Amino acid sequence: MKFYCEVTSWGEESLLFLDDPNANFIIVFNDNAPVELTDFSVLHTPANYNEDPAVGDTMMICDKAFTITAIGDEALHTLRELGHCTFSFKGGDTPERPGCIMLQGDVPLAKDDVKIGSTIEVH
């Protein structure tokens, strides 16, 4: 396993982006994120980070499988250092932003899928 962490909480506005088809993303941060960022973030335990995620890897988020289709230039650095990046569920081979990991899956992530103790893993 390349990456593993558990969801500890999320901000009031963090899951609203999933309902917007033009957004369709979540922002993740270690659970020691600055307070001003927690309203918009899914917080997690500091990750067991063994190896950089790569295009083609499988990312499991709250028991749903997604294929990594693109990784922004800053995403791995911020994920490694702060547990922070944006997971965009739009797929595609071009990252939307430098801190974004693009994901494609058969079943969309829904707000009800996100629960305390759910895992984020990369294989």
Supply angle C-alpha 70, 114, 41, rounded to 5: 65
Res. 21: pLDDT tops 90: no
Res. 13: pLDDT tops 90: yes
pTM for the full predicted model: 0.96
pLDDT at 90: 96
* Surface-to-core class of residue 32, CB atoms within 10 Å of its CB (0-12 exposed, 13-18 middle, 19+ buried): exposed
Instruction: Provide the pLDDT confidence category of residue 40 given band limits of 50, 70 and 90.
Output: very high
Tracing tokens 């396993």 back to the chain, one arrives at 1
